[in-house]
Amino acid sequence: MTIHLAGDSTVAPGPLDGSGVIGWGGVFDEFTDELVANRAIGGATTDSFVAEGRWQATIDAIEAGDVVVLGFGHNDQKLEELAADGRYTENLERFVTEVRDRGGIPVLTTSVERLLRDDAGALRVSHGSYPRAVRRLGHRLDVPVIELTAFTRWLYEWLAEEAGPVLFPHGKPDHSPEEARDTTHFGLAGARAVASFVAQNLRAIRGQDDHHEPLGRWVMQP
């Protein structure tokens, strides 16, 4: 069984030595024993992923029982023609249908949040209605949705002032983190945090732990 990853830079591979930004998909193989095929690429939209042939390569590689995780939205939201409740949703629905036609298991993800705060220090909402569109599509098509928007918002709030240095240690191109921190693309720690969360969700979605003997009876006190 193979886990196929399709998405943008927040999912895409990157350097494993900490020297640059990396998507959660770049370290996902650290958290699963399954084969991982990551075709995500920086700058991808649901349109460009098809136009560049990456979606066809994904479909051609799917075997019955494979999982396909879809992680788009960061770049789709920048283009009027890829409106959340328009072509963005239509493209994702097409992906889901084609994965199922191949006998695969589609899984949707909402976008990881950007770490952006207002002048008062409150965490801003950076993806508008795009996460909602994914949730609605998942409900309508009975597709599992991994909630990365809510998870990363929680993670940033939990880490508070440490969220930037820990999860986003790199600067924007031609800047140091102190001058202009890249608050969209993770370093290794951020990528690993999200990848671990995705892996645990996939275990739950696939029911991998459903038949274990409950341990509660051994720790309950009379």
Over the stretch 186-212, which tens digit does the pLDDT of each residue have?
999 999 999 999 999 999 999 998 998
Determine the pLDDT at residue 213.
83
Closest among 61, 72, 56 to 108, alpha carbons compared: 72
- CB-CB contact of 188 with 27 (8 Å): yes
Q: pTM (2 decimals)?
A: 0.94
Please provide the size of the chain in residues.
222
Does residue 15 carry a pLDDT above 60?
Answer: yes
Determine the pLDDT at residue 202.
98
Determine the pLDDT at residue 214.
82
Determine the pLDDT at residue 68.
98
Q: Locate the domains of the chain by residue range.
A: 2-219
Over the stretch 89-114, which tens digit does the pLDDT of each residue have?
999 999 999 999 999 999 999 999 99
Coil/strand/helix, residue 146: strand
The share of the chain scoring above pLDDT 90, in percent, equals 88
Does residue 182 carry a pLDDT above 60?
Answer: yes
Determine the pLDDT at residue 179.
78
Determine the pLDDT at residue 177.
85
| Residue recorded with tokens 């969700």 | 201
Closest among 94, 90, 96, 41 to 68, alpha carbons compared: 96
Over the stretch 126-163, which tens digit does the pLDDT of each residue have?
999 999 999 999 999 999 999 999 999 999 999 999 99
What's the pLDDT band for 46 if we cut at 50, 70, 90? very high
For the residues 158-172, what does the mean pLDDT come to?
Answer: 95
Does residue 215 carry a pLDDT above 90?
Answer: no
Domain range 2-219, its CATH number among 3.90.1150.10, 3.40.50.1110, 3.40.462.20, 3.20.20.150: 3.40.50.1110
- Tokens representing 104? 């695969």
What's the pLDDT band for 176 if we cut at 50, 70, 90? confident
Closest among 135, 107, 110 to 125, alpha carbons compared: 110
